[in-house]
Chain A
Amino acid sequence: MSGAPPMSGQVCEHCGVPLVSAEGHAFCAACILRSTSLAGLDRIGPYIIDSPLGEGGMGEVFLAFHEATGRAVALKVPAVGGGSQRASLLKRFAQEARMLSLLDHPGILPIYEVGEFQDRPWFAMKLAEGGTLADRLQETGAQPPRKAAEMLATVASAVQYAHDHGILHRDLKPHNILLDEKGQPMLGDFGLARPARASAELSHTLAVLGTPGYAAPEVSQGRTPSPAADIFSLGAILYHLLAGRPPFKGDSVTQVLELVAHGRAVPLTHYGVPLDLWRICRKSLEPELEDRYASAAALERDLRAWLDGRGVSVRPLSPLVRLSRLIRRNPLVTALILTTAFAIIASLGSMLISMKRVQQADTVQLQADQQVSAEHRHLERLGHVRLLLDSHRAGHRREALDLLQAEWTFRPSELLRSLAIRALAHGDFVTEGPLNEKTGIFAKPQRHRRAFAPASGRSATVGGSHDRELRIMDRSGGTEAVFQLEDSVTALQWNQAGNELAVGCLAKNTYLWKVGDASAVSHVHGRESAAIAFAWHSDQRLIACQTEEGALHLWDLERREDLVMQRCGVPVNHPPRWDAAGAQILWSDVDNNPCRIAVILPAGVRMLRPVGAEGHRESFCTLDLDARLGRVTWVTDEGARLWDLKTGAHRLVIAKYGTEWMGARFLSDGLQSCGWSSGLRSLDGVALSAGRHLAAEGGQAPYVGAVLLDAAAEPPGWLALLERPANRFLLTHPNTTRPVKVLAQKDPFSIALTPDARLAATSSFQERSIQLWSLSSTSPPRHLPVQEAGCNLAFAPDGLTLAVVGRHLVTLWNTSSGQCVLTLAATDPFHMATWSPDGRLLAVQTATRTRLHRVHDGAVIAELPNPSLEPGSRPVALAFDKQESLLGEQREDGSVILWNLNTIQRELLLLGMDWPVNEGR
């Protein structure tokens, strides 16, 4: 017996009543009596309502307790307004209750009691204490394959049971699968369910036709659902269980529905899921009803077989099956091919019949079928590759290259090679195993308000209203720049030298400030969430960015866009960093385990995108490369720019005078420009290295109004110029003040010199004639009888061939014989051509694209893509380096794409793809 008094001496802070003590602690008797009293609680029927559990498609669900027994239930009450839909909603609700009460299966959520309260029906169901499968997937991501298979087998068994009772679920998805306290799945929410053979009347009154991404394509299209639709949804759930994401994910419902209609899901094997499970899943997700499992039981059988280690019924599809499916899915596209195929078959058939060899005709027909089937599979895969390459998501590069490699063994082609070059131009992330994607998202990222650069002594400070003002101060505390950003600053990081600053803001944009800039330049737009941390790569051209949602983006400072992104679950306040070799990004996950991701950079391509540098197409080349010194120059609306490929530094070196035409070329030492108004100007190597700049000025004697067109490399170097007002071509040496030779071309338009300055070619914009001039003699020029006016001329490096680019044709001429040796045609207008230094390739630019042609027979080796995700702007100039296989393409938006063909060739060889420059000779 205890001697302690029941009064503790303390007073309840809520009601002021003295506390009672029990077992050493005190409690308020009045409060306990109030909280344990059942008086005043909300009730529906015999149930006491505790709290809402959620809202379904058609009503509220409460946690409720049976007053007498204390049993916890999920009590569903429909949310019915007084509108016109009231009757239909009540009907659906009553139907759901009726459906559920018909079904008695451990995998189906049982219904306990049905009733009516204040004119509203209700029913009490078993309480799923484990929540929904959707919640579970959200919390834990992909499930281990065995667990996923076991779970889905249980659900499939329940679905089969419902089907056996003539009931379709019609809205199977993770939200409608509930888990009991042991995690066992139970099928719920039969709100859309109806008897398999009931009239379609009810469905017409429903606005909902399943859930996009889980509903079978035929359901989304409004066709009458069948058990096969539920099997499709089971496949989608299985996929989600195994991959941790739904099979069809797009930016819009339309996009999702399109992916569903074509059955385009990323193979589960990419997530490390066993092949047989992927086959089971794929068979359930077939777009056509008849290709899916015949019943949920069949699906369950295969899952159990897999779990027991036995063989599954799904096997790889035969080409014939693939063909038949392709035809069903793409009737219009296949019609053409089939017509051709059938024509062949028919003609072969009639021939054979006439020879009374009917049996052989069957064989031929089968072979033709197989050929058409293989053809379709090939085209379908190429379509898939294009789809993959339309985004910069991690893994897409690898998947595209795998597919292309496989297709190459089927049929090598220029198209495959071009797609491979496009894939190689992508960046990628590679992980060794699955990443822990829990981000600890509830943690609040630290806001960076100040960043200090030890190397330069600079500091950046955030201030102003809403933290949008950024002030850069130098070592002495003086203000170097102040500017406003679009939104609050979320991340700040100096580069190692302390002369460039990466800035992230809440509006999901990133900016870069460089010494000398008055403001920060906007770089990457349209990310899904704001950057909260940056890690500069040691080469100063790349920054790894971490976003609020735990994704990693690889920001290419030259391109001013992301190369690749992946959701990695990088936790807030665990910023990523580069490894010592600069090949991997490292971080710690929420559980402090080390994580790493290898970075694959684009191969054989660089894209240089200066800010606000637009350019226009001219009749001469406005781009020049010097691979030896690692420099590129090109002319934009402001003037000639110079980009140092080694340091990434770039600037305007020679300004235009007004809106004049201007050309620029590298000389053996320095840079030469010539403008319509500014005339001939140059900066030597020393001046370039010292960072000198020529301001805009007009009236440079003596070549006022001359446009730099072409230059020969041989010392002392030659310049071919168009002189105004005489409007004539003339030749001179760089840095001289007088013309050396005048070429009397009527209506002069284009000019070219051989590198050894032995020959010049000129064209007129009026006449269909090219004139070929020998510079060592005074003899009259030879005429080349072209079919259309030449808008661009280019001599081969050996000077023996001249490429004449007309609007519709490109013709190659032997400069000795004056004979046309090759003609190339294209569907869009030609613009410019340039020769590779070895003279074996001719790169040709049209209004929209650039192709590489083998010179000896004109065959296309590859087409060069736009490596950027920005919509392609028109190409304006094209130039090969004179020594190396480096090809530059200038675009209207002021960017330059540099292709290193040696690197591309090497990468293609690693993929088993050739580079047939010499073939067919």
Chain B
Amino acid sequence: MNAHFATTRWSLVRSASLSPEPRREALSELYTLYWRPICDYLRRMGISESEVEDVAQDFFIGFFESQSLDRADSEHGRFRAYLVGALRHHVQKLRRKASAQKRGGGNVALPLDALDQSAPHEADHARLFDLEWAQTMMAHSMARLESETSEQGMDAAQTSALIHGDATIPQREIAARLGISVTAMKTRVFRLRRRFREILREEVSRTVANAVELEGEMAYLSEILGGPVA
């Protein structure tokens, strides 16, 4: 997974609607960040597994080509909320189309009955979408950190063990393996944890417009993942 993002921010997302080159770039970045939450959202909405990826791709292309980004104004809330709205709208559109085709005879297999009866409430869909977004943020951040620490000779398990408060591999053991003192190890742990927070903030900041919103998103991310309340 490519976990590096150069300058993707809300502002860039907005600019993506203006010229073709940054647009493709933004598309790629949004793909990475939101692909999984969107696919999972679609699955929960009852889209069959074989069609989920096609539907998601259609949504992305439609989202970009329909000038939706122009309407995704930074002044009007979080991009993620906007995206969920657009997705909901896209599914409703699909349902209507499917319903018409059912009446008129189409061949899209959308089990509308099941969708209507077993799908969770709309608010839960949004929350699950957010949870998956938050987990993606964490996974991306962790992957970036591991890629950085691998350059210092640490493997992913060691990085994870050190950054984790309750490590399964003792710090003393890792220090001995890396040939450094326990004090140096503790310093490294502090820096690792600090770096993780930095990366996480960077990742989240890509989807927000300003510092106030960033703090809000960080707090929300922690809350939704069950982390400490800031």
Residues of chain A touching chain B, judged by Cβ–Cβ distance below 8 Å, are 1-2, 5-7, 14-15, 17, 20-25, 27-40, 48, 50-51, 53, 63, 65, 70, 72, 127, 129-131, 181
In the assembled complex, B142 has its CB within 8 A of some CB on chain A: yes
In the assembled complex, B228 has its CB within 8 A of some CB on chain A: yes
Which residues does chain B contribute within 8 Å of A22, judged by CB atoms? 138-140, 142-143, 146, 156
Q: Are A131 and B225 in contact (CB under 8 A)?
A: no
Find residues 120-141 in chain B having any chain A CB closer than 8 Å to their own CB: 132, 134-136, 138-140
The chain B residue with its CB closest to the CB of A64 is B190
Q: B223 → chain A, closest Cβ, in Å?
A: 10
Seed contacts A20-B138, A37-B230, A65-B190; 20 additional CB < 8 Å A-B pairs: A6-B36, A7-B135, A15-B226, A22-B139, A22-B140, A22-B143, A22-B156, A23-B146, A29-B138, A29-B225, A31-B165, A33-B226, A36-B163, A40-B228, A50-B190, A72-B183, A72-B186, A72-B187, A72-B190, A131-B183
Given A127-B183, A129-B181, A130-B181, A37:B228 Cβ within 8 A: yes
Q: Are B165 and A1 in contact (CB under 8 A)?
A: no
The chain A residue with its CB closest to the CB of B40 is A5
Which residues does chain B contribute within 8 Å of A37, judged by CB atoms? 197, 222, 227-228, 230
Query: Could you list 28 A-B pairs, sorted by A, with CB under 8 Å?
Result: A6-B36, A14-B166, A20-B138, A21-B139, A22-B142, A22-B143, A23-B1, A23-B142, A23-B143, A25-B160, A29-B134, A29-B227, A32-B196, A32-B227, A33-B225, A33-B226, A34-B165, A35-B163, A37-B197, A37-B222, A37-B227, A50-B186, A63-B187, A65-B187, A65-B190, A70-B194, A72-B183, A127-B183
Q: Are A39 and B230 in contact (CB under 8 A)?
A: yes
Which residues does chain B contribute within 8 Å of A131, judged by CB atoms? 181, 183
Which residues does chain A contribute within 8 Å of B93, judged by CB atoms? none
The chain B residue with its CB closest to the CB of A35 is B165
In the assembled complex, B24 has its CB within 8 A of some CB on chain A: no
The chain B residue with its CB closest to the CB of A26 is B160
Q: Are A6 and B194 in contact (CB under 8 A)?
A: no
Q: Are A1 and B156 in contact (CB under 8 A)?
A: no
In the assembled complex, B164 has its CB within 8 A of some CB on chain A: yes
Closest 3 CB pairs of A and B: A33-B227, A35-B165, A30-B226
In the assembled complex, B5 has its CB within 8 A of some CB on chain A: no
Which residues does chain B contribute within 8 Å of A20, judged by CB atoms? 135, 138-139, 142
Given A32-B164, A36-B196, A53-B183, A6:B32 Cβ within 8 A: no
Which residues does chain B contribute within 8 Å of A33, judged by CB atoms? 138, 222, 225-228
Interface string of B146-172 (1 = CB under 8 A from A): 100000000011001001111000000
In the assembled complex, B71 has its CB within 8 A of some CB on chain A: no
Q: Are A25 and B156 in contact (CB under 8 A)?
A: yes
Residues of chain B touching chain A, judged by Cβ–Cβ distance below 8 Å, are 1-2, 31-32, 35-36, 40, 132, 134-136, 138-140, 142-143, 146, 156-157, 160, 163-166, 180-181, 183-184, 186-187, 190-191, 193-194, 196-197, 222, 225-228, 230
Given A21-B139, A29-B134, A181:B184 Cβ within 8 A: yes
Which residues does chain B contribute within 8 Å of A181, judged by CB atoms? 184
Q: B193 → chain A, closest Cβ, in Å?
A: 4
Q: Are B142 and A27 in contact (CB under 8 A)?
A: yes
Q: A148 → chain B, closest Cβ, in Å?
A: 21
Given A2-B1, A35-B193, A65-B187, A30:B31 Cβ within 8 A: no
Which residues does chain B contribute within 8 Å of A25, judged by CB atoms? 156-157, 160
Main SS class of interface, B? helix
Q: A749 → chain B, closest Cβ, in Å?
A: 79
Which residues does chain B contribute within 8 Å of A51, judged by CB atoms? 186
| Bound Cα distance A181, B142 (Å) | 28
Q: A14 → chain B, closest Cβ, in Å?
A: 6
Q: Are B164 and A35 in contact (CB under 8 A)?
A: yes
Q: Are B1 and A1 in contact (CB under 8 A)?
A: yes
The residue that A17 contacts in the complex, of B140, B156, B226, with Cβ under 8 A, is: B226
| Bound Cα distance A53, B187 (Å) | 12
Interface centre among A6, A72, A131 (most CB of B within 10 A): A6
Q: Are A36 and B193 in contact (CB under 8 A)?
A: yes
The residue that B31 contacts in the complex, of A1, A29, A48, A63, with Cβ under 8 A, is: A1
Q: A489 → chain B, closest Cβ, in Å?
A: 34
Q: Are A5 and B156 in contact (CB under 8 A)?
A: no
The chain B residue with its CB closest to the CB of A7 is B135
Q: Are B166 and A31 in contact (CB under 8 A)?
A: yes
Which residues does chain B contribute within 8 Å of A48, judged by CB atoms? 190
Q: Are B164 and A31 in contact (CB under 8 A)?
A: yes
Q: A496 → chain B, closest Cβ, in Å?
A: 44
| Bound Cα distance A2, B132 (Å) | 15
Q: B59 → chain A, closest Cβ, in Å?
A: 16
Which residues does chain A contribute within 8 Å of B139, judged by CB atoms? 6, 20-22
The chain A residue with its CB closest to the CB of B222 is A33
| Bound Cα distance A127, B181 (Å) | 12
Which residues does chain B contribute within 8 Å of A70, judged by CB atoms? 190-191, 194
| Bound Cα distance A421, B228 (Å) | 79
Interface centre among B31, B139, B146, B193 (most CB of A within 10 A): B139
Q: Are A6 and B135 in contact (CB under 8 A)?
A: yes
Q: Are B183 and A129 in contact (CB under 8 A)?
A: yes
Which residues does chain B contribute within 8 Å of A7, judged by CB atoms? 132, 135
The chain A residue with its CB closest to the CB of B167 is A35
Q: B219 → chain A, closest Cβ, in Å?
A: 11
The chain B residue with its CB closest to the CB of A34 is B228
Which residues does chain B contribute within 8 Å of A30, judged by CB atoms? 225-227
Which residues does chain A contribute within 8 Å of B181, judged by CB atoms? 129-131
| Bound Cα distance A32, B222 (Å) | 10
| Bound Cα distance A591, B226 (Å) | 49
Which residues does chain A contribute within 8 Å of B135, judged by CB atoms? 6-7, 20, 29
The residue that B197 contacts in the complex, of A14, A15, A23, A36, with Cβ under 8 A, is: A36
Q: A565 → chain B, closest Cβ, in Å?
A: 33
Q: B220 → chain A, closest Cβ, in Å?
A: 12
Q: Are B190 and A6 in contact (CB under 8 A)?
A: no
Which residues does chain A contribute within 8 Å of B197, judged by CB atoms? 36-38
Which residues does chain A contribute within 8 Å of B163, judged by CB atoms? 32, 35-36
Q: Are A32 and B1 in contact (CB under 8 A)?
A: no
Q: A420 → chain B, closest Cβ, in Å?
A: 51
| Bound Cα distance A700, B227 (Å) | 102
Q: Are A6 and B193 in contact (CB under 8 A)?
A: no
Given A21-B139, A32-B142, A37-B228, A6:B165 Cβ within 8 A: no
Which residues does chain B contribute within 8 Å of A29, judged by CB atoms? 134-135, 138, 225-227
Which residues does chain B contribute within 8 Å of A28, judged by CB atoms? 164
| Bound Cα distance A29, B222 (Å) | 9
| Bound Cα distance A430, B226 (Å) | 67
The chain B residue with its CB closest to the CB of A50 is B186
Q: Are B193 and A63 in contact (CB under 8 A)?
A: no
| Bound Cα distance A788, B71 (Å) | 134
Which residues does chain B contribute within 8 Å of A127, judged by CB atoms? 183, 187
The residue that B225 contacts in the complex, of A17, A35, A53, A65, with Cβ under 8 A, is: A17
Q: A177 → chain B, closest Cβ, in Å?
A: 16
| Bound Cα distance A32, B200 (Å) | 11
Q: A635 → chain B, closest Cβ, in Å?
A: 66
| Bound Cα distance A33, B218 (Å) | 11
Which residues does chain A contribute within 8 Å of B160, judged by CB atoms? 25, 27
Which residues does chain A contribute within 8 Å of B157, judged by CB atoms? 25
Q: Are A63 and B142 in contact (CB under 8 A)?
A: no
| Bound Cα distance A863, B177 (Å) | 62
Which residues does chain B contribute within 8 Å of A129, judged by CB atoms? 180-181, 183-184, 187
Q: Are A24 and B156 in contact (CB under 8 A)?
A: yes
The chain B residue with its CB closest to the CB of A129 is B184
Q: B147 → chain A, closest Cβ, in Å?
A: 8
The chain A residue with its CB closest to the CB of B194 is A70
Which residues does chain A contribute within 8 Å of B132, judged by CB atoms? 6-7
Which residues does chain B contribute within 8 Å of A65, judged by CB atoms? 187, 190, 194
Which residues does chain A contribute within 8 Å of B184, judged by CB atoms? 129, 181
Which residues does chain B contribute within 8 Å of A38, judged by CB atoms? 197
The chain A residue with its CB closest to the CB of B147 is A23
The chain A residue with its CB closest to the CB of B134 is A29
Which residues does chain A contribute within 8 Å of B143, judged by CB atoms? 22-23
